[in-house]
Structure 1
Amino acid sequence: MDVPLEGGNTTVGVVRVGGTVRRPRGSRSEFAAAAVTWLNAHDFPYVARYFGIDAQRRDTFEYIEGETTEHPVQRDERSYAAMGGILRELHDLTTRRDASGSATALLHGDPGPFNVVCRDGMPVALIDWDSSRVGEPLDDFGYAAWTWCAGDHGGTTAAEQAARLRAFRDAYDPTMTADGVLGAIGRAQQSIITAETAVLDDPRREAGRRGHAERAIGWAESDRRYLTRHLREFADALGGPRE
């Protein structure tokens, strides 16, 4: 029996069938399936197993028990360091360097809390790899640091968020400066604004997708204003600019 799984913004028709999740295939499915298969083969513990394509031409993944989170109140305070460590492990496992020494890694591409299954408030698996790609590790870092730690959430203070951001940074790379961390977050926010503005301005896109783009732009701009207002608190928690 197919049980619809709700909460996604770009893939419709995702269902649970027993101990599996079935996802309709799209333009990014081939790469995502290959990435997850590679991670399975290399024993990366924070990803569902991939079982192939079913009779209805859907990708089939292991179902991971737990839930995604929307607000810090749903998370253990240790989850921020844990998530920084998971991202570090992913990037260390997949980093490659070219002849010039420049590093690229497999990026999840969308490692916000809405794509991380938690149990008892702690992250246990990255899901929805449709945005995965090879790229600059700081792209993943900046997006995750923002969406996990530095947003305009009610019921939590800037000081609390700054402490969570430091825990996240320290687990990922304690040598990163405040300027480096905050710059990565700013680039991630601008990337969302730029990409979603292009969708919003395209009359060929369906109304539902354009509506999502409008909400995403508002979210990124609101969080950017929040971070700007509290920049000193975040910078101080990270040790201040040292570049």
Structure 2
Amino acid sequence: MTPLPAESIIAGVTDTASEPLAGGHDTEVVVRVGDTVRRSRGPRSDYAAEVLRHLEAVGYAHAPRHLGVDDEGRDVLTYLPGRTTDHPTQRADGAYARAGAMLRELHDLTTGHPLAGDRECVVHGDPGPFNTIVRDGLPVAFIDWSACRPGDRLDDLGYLAWTWCVQTLGAVPIADQAAHLRELRDGYGDVEAERLVAAVLRQQTRVIDVEGAKSHDTALTATRRAHARDAVAWATADRALVRRHEALLLSALRR
């Protein structure tokens, strides 16, 4: 990982017309200023900037562009109009296949690249629908790249499949969830049914473990600890749903 070049410092733009945006729970400030988004920098910001610059260079259309760092020390990214979604009724036909294809392209474009280190590829790390911009019901870009890192395709795909297709809340029939899972997997490419469902369960367990630890970490704010408790409850309920309907999900993936 290399530091940002000096020419990427962007000065002279103030927040006189800034608009707060819903950001990640580990990001202090996320605001829109004109056609840009300004985000507080963290320990992995330089790496994320390198990833975004690489994706721009190779023509990956499904990520914001990193424009530099402003004079307040924040990352400057292109603003991507659209919305996020939290229910299938907000998505158009083909949305799940498109999300899978977007993730597959990211993995293919970073496989073997130095940014992937000794791992399979660069993973987004948090490609849920809450980090995906949708227009006319179809996903167009992943945002919030603060969790991107060297990793394994199947872990990223398992998280995408879980957060896009499996939900205890929202009164989504399990048959519909299974169909969405099949569509997303087909959009990504051929992955064995058993391996994908195992990856979903593994990612749910990871969130339970990681957020469970944060829920008791007194170094974090009370708000962040409360979010951690909510995340544990969410992942626990969805994991129970997958285990309860595992045979149905596997059957849908094998058709």
What TM-score results when the alignment is normalised by the length of structure 2? 0.89
Equivalent residue letter for 1:35:
V
For 1:161, the equivalent position in structure 2 comes to 177
What are the superposed Cα offsets for residues 134-169 of structure 1, whole Å, 9 maximum, x if unpaired?
Answer: 011111000000000112132310001101100111
For 1:189, the equivalent position in structure 2 comes to 204
Unaligned runs of 5+ in 1: none
For 2:194, the equivalent position in structure 1 comes to 179
For 1:63, the equivalent position in structure 2 comes to 79
Aligned counterparts of 2:241 and 2:29: Cα–Cα separation in 1? 35
Aligned counterparts of 1:6 and 1:202: Cα–Cα separation in 2? 23
1:26 partnered with 2:17: no
Helix, strand or coil for the counterpart of 2:171? Answer: coil
Match 2:219 to one of 194, 204, 224: 204
For 1:43, the equivalent position in structure 2 comes to 59
1:4 partnered with 2:1: no
What are the superposed Cα offsets for residues 177-216 of structure 1, whole Å, 9 maximum, x if unpaired?
Answer: 2211100101110110111111122222221111111010
Task: Report the CA distance between 1:35 and its aligned residue.
Answer: 0.9
Task: Report the CA distance between 1:7 and its aligned residue.
Answer: 5.0
What are the superposed Cα offsets for residues 194-241 of structure 1, whole Å, 9 maximum, x if unpaired?
Answer: 11111122222221111111010000001011112222211110117x
Aligned counterparts of 1:219 and 1:7: Cα–Cα separation in 2? 19
For 1:237, the equivalent position in structure 2 comes to 252
Helix, strand or coil for the counterpart of 1:106? Answer: strand
Aligned counterparts of 2:166 and 2:86: Cα–Cα separation in 1? 13
Identical aligned residues as a percent: 46
For 1:92, the equivalent position in structure 2 comes to 108
Number of aligned residue pairs: 236
Aligned counterparts of 2:214 and 2:24: Cα–Cα separation in 1? 17
1:109 partnered with 2:125: yes
Unaligned runs of 5+ in 2: 1-16
Task: Report the CA distance between 1:14 and its aligned residue.
Answer: 0.6
